[in-house]
Every structure is written in C-alpha cells, then in structure tokens.
Amino acid sequence: MSLYRAWRPKSFAQLVGQDAVVQTLTSALAAGKLAHAYLFSGPRGSGKTSAAKILARCINCVAGPTPTPDNTCENCRAIIDGTALDVLEIDAASNRGIDEIRALRDAVKFAPSAMRMKVYIIDEAHMLTKEGANAFLRTLEEPPSHAVFILATTEPDRLPVTILSRCQRYAFRRIAIPVMIARMREIASAEGTEIDDAALAAIAYRADGGLRDALTMLEQAVAFAGATGGRIDERTIELAFGSAGREQAAALLDAVLANDPAATLAIIEEASDSGTDIVTLTRSLLAEFRNLLVARVDPNLLARDLAPEDAERATRRAPEVAQARIVRALRVLTDALSLARSGGNPRLELETALLRFVLASEDPTLDALSARVAAIEEPQVRKATPREPPAKPKGKATEKASLQRVRAAWQSIRAKAEGHRQSLRAPLSRAVVEAVDERTVTLGLPEQWIADALKQHAAIVERAIEDVLGIHLAVRLRVDGTVRASVPTPESEDPDELFNYATEVIREKR
C-alpha cells in the first residue's frame, strides 16, 4: 500500500497543518451542531478528502456523533475499508453531467441502510457541468434529514454562488514546510527509513504545500535508495527527481550580491550543462530574493515557507542587502521569467537580467539610477527610524519635493503601487510625471481610459509616493493626447538636471 494511503489520518488529531479547520469541526461536533452540506477547499494534498472521511466516521460512529470516532466499531471499519453502503465517494470529474446528478438525487431520498446518516463525498466538485450543478442545487435546497454532503475542491470559485451559499465553507491551507518535514520524519522513522533533514527539506520544497505529494516522493526516494544503497541525502533526492535549482540559486545569489559577473555567468553555465531547467532556476532565484525581502519586513513570516535553517539564513543576511536592490532584482527577474515563458531563450533572458543587475553602475536607465540613489539613501533612513520611513508632516512639502526628485524615484513609486494592486502596472507605465508643486504631483496621460483607471486608485499611488519620498503629495491627472505612451526617461528629456541631482545626492551622502 502507498505511504500516503497507509498513513492517511484516521482522526482530526492526526490531520496536520489544518488547526483552524480541525478546531471548528470538532467544536461543532461536540456541540451536536451538524450541517447538511460542507465545502472543503484548498490546494491538492492538503487533507480535504481525508478530513471528509474522518467527518463521515464522526457522524456514523456507533459512539457518535462524536469529534473522536473510535475507528474500531463496525461502521468506522466499513468506512475505512471503503465498503460502507451509506458513505459514497463520488468523483465529480467522471460523474459531472446532469444524468449522474439526477441519479444521485433519486438515490438520496432513500433512508440509510445500516448507518445513522447517508454521507456523500463529492471530490473535485468544481468539475460539475452547469446543468449538473443546477440539478445538484435542487437537492441542496431541500435536503433530506438523513443526508450530509461534503464537497471537496481545489477551485471553489468555479462553483455557482447558489451552491456556495448553502454550504459551510472550510479553507484548507498549504501545509507549512516545517510541518511537512516533521511529519515525514515521523513516518520515515516508523518505516525504518534513514533520511537526513536536508533531504526531507528538498522533498518538502518540491511538494509545494501538498503532504500527499511529499509522501509519494518519499516513497519513490526510498525505492531509489534501495536500488543504489545507502542513506537518503539531498544528493539522492536530486538524482531521483532532478535538480530543483536551489543550490545553484543560492550560489547565484552570492555571486549577484557580490557584483561578480564572471561567477554569475559561470554558475548559469554549470547549471545549464548539468541539465537544470533554467526557468526553474529563475523561479528559485526569485524565491531567494523574495525571502530576503520578507525577512526585512517580518522574519516570522518565513516560518511557513522555509525550513528553520533556511529561514535563519535569510533573516541573518537580509539586513546586509539594501531593499532597493532586492526590489530591483525581483523586477528584472520577473521580467526575465515572463519573457522566457513567452517564447524567449530562458538562459539568455536570465543572463541578461542578472548582468543588468550586477552592472547597475553601467546601466543608464532610470530604473538602475533610481536603485543606486535609493541604495545610497537607505542606510541613512534606517539610522533615523529602523522600521519606518522618516516622519514627514502630511500635506507639507520640503526642499526635496521637486520635479527631478519625483522623476528619479518614479520607478520605485511604481513598484510600491503595483505591489499593492497589480492592475495599476499598465496605466502607470503610460503615465508621465509632468509637474510637482507644494502639495500636488501632476501625471500626464495619453488617453482618458487610463485616467479613469488611475482615478479609482489614486490613493494607492499617493501612499506609494509617501512611502518612497516621505512626502504626502496629492495626485492630479491630466489627459493630453501628445503625452508619450511609455515610461518617461528623464535622460532624454533633461539629462543634465537628473545627472546633477544624482551627483549632488551622492556627494551629500559621502
């Protein structure tokens, strides 16, 4: 029997990583409050079907309804073995049409043959056709008192709201990396498997929050190690499943942050020659920079996504890297990943992106210049207030509230605003900073629809300006068909002003 089936949780106490769901369900069962329909939604392998089968036993246990089924009575054993006539598991992907749902609707009318309640577990419920969902809705509207429906889905938004509104909804979370490692360690120990923590972490990262996937990979790794002999380590996992690019991504991070272009290209070449998928490597490097950014904001947020030693390493390193550099790396890598997916050469896109980042001092774009200026200013800002930007009275301008200053910081402002709302990316890319006065920044726009899109979210842009510059400026929009429909480049509009400004800031900070 497969590991994930042999170790399927048999009680809510054994259901790992879903504490909120477990607490709510057990409290309801203890109070005798049983709903007629439940919706379990969440990523694959997070325990939805296991929880549904546990709930079925809670309802029909001879000692129940109870939050702790004994799993030894006749009813519990029948449900565990899959032979219970009154607990039916239906795959909606295969039984999705109106005819199958009509058959279910007819069958549900009859009383249970042996148990307290009839329980219908409908897996992949989002696969029901429109007609099938409408037919099922009739049953949910007037359910018989002896029936309970448990719907499980990875895509609850695809279900009609009329069905959603008639179900108690429980959201299952991706299982945290440390929780998966601990559970796999427990199972490996019970199975007599020798595996080190680095290998368990490598499996957990590949499983992406799904414990079922993790246990399947663990079983495969055991089989692979049995053929080759020896203890399972991280190298064994890479041989069995191929490289995930994590080691190369860590090496790339070191080379990039050290501004070493030769080492950067050498690592990419080595990764390519060893068969590592470059798109996967790009994603892994993006994750490394993302971890640094999260660690600067709140290191505790890394606890779910990383193994303890990886979280500690990111937390230790984050203060050494300027936030502006991290944000710029995320932007250039995201662009590289997008271009690679849309048909570009993944290796060339990654090399180009990283060289642009490493050789920022030779990059004449506004993005690079803004990052350099922000990196120079950041230590002073942190010294003034470690967790917040320097306090500035709202509505009051300072000597830095100049056209050149706002233009130089525009890319950082855009990044902040787009981080809050991705839909702002297109309209902001076509906005030009035209004028700045004591209280207002004027954005020139080529078309009215862009102004309409920005007008709804002007407050987000204003907050981004205040976060980056420490100055509150109201956003004013001006539509002018002669405005260029692209990101403004001050080098071509007024290179002397921008160069002089950057020179003065650098001189002042030195």
The domains found in the chain, sorted by start residue, are 3-171 (3.40.50.300), 177-241 (1.10.8.60), 246-363 (1.20.272.10), 374-509 (3.30.300.180)
Is 90 exceeded by the pLDDT of residue 40? yes
CB 37 within 8 A of CB 108: no
Is 90 exceeded by the pLDDT of residue 131? no
Separation CA 195–CA 190 (nearest Å):
12
CB 301 within 8 A of CB 269: no
Residue 142 has which token pair? 């007037």
Separation CA 385–CA 375 (nearest Å):
16
Separation CA 59–CA 69 (nearest Å):
8
- C-alpha count within 13 angstroms, C-beta hemisphere, residue 112: 19
- Give the position of tokens 């996504």: 305
Q: Are strands 168-171 and 432-436 parallel, antiparallel or unpaired?
A: unpaired
Burial (Cβ within 10 Å: 0-12, 13-18, ≥19) of residue 33 = exposed
| Mean pLDDT for the stretch of residues 149-178 | 90
Is 80 exceeded by the pLDDT of residue 507? no
Over the chain, what is the mean pLDDT? 82
pLDDT value for 64: 78
pLDDT value for 102: 83
Burial (Cβ within 10 Å: 0-12, 13-18, ≥19) of residue 503 = exposed
**R_g over Cα of the chain:** 29
Nearest CA among 510, 285, 488 for reference residue 369: 488
Is 60 exceeded by the pLDDT of residue 372? no
Separation CA 425–CA 331 (nearest Å):
12
Is 70 exceeded by the pLDDT of residue 109? yes
Is 50 exceeded by the pLDDT of residue 77? yes
CB 257 within 8 A of CB 42: no
Task: Note the pLDDT tens digit of each residue in 179-237.
Answer: 999 999 999 999 888 898 889 998 998 888 888 899 999 988 888 887 556 688 888 88
Task: Note the pLDDT tens digit of each residue in 465-506.
Answer: 888 888 889 999 988 766 554 333 333 344 444 444 444 444
Is 70 exceeded by the pLDDT of residue 367? no
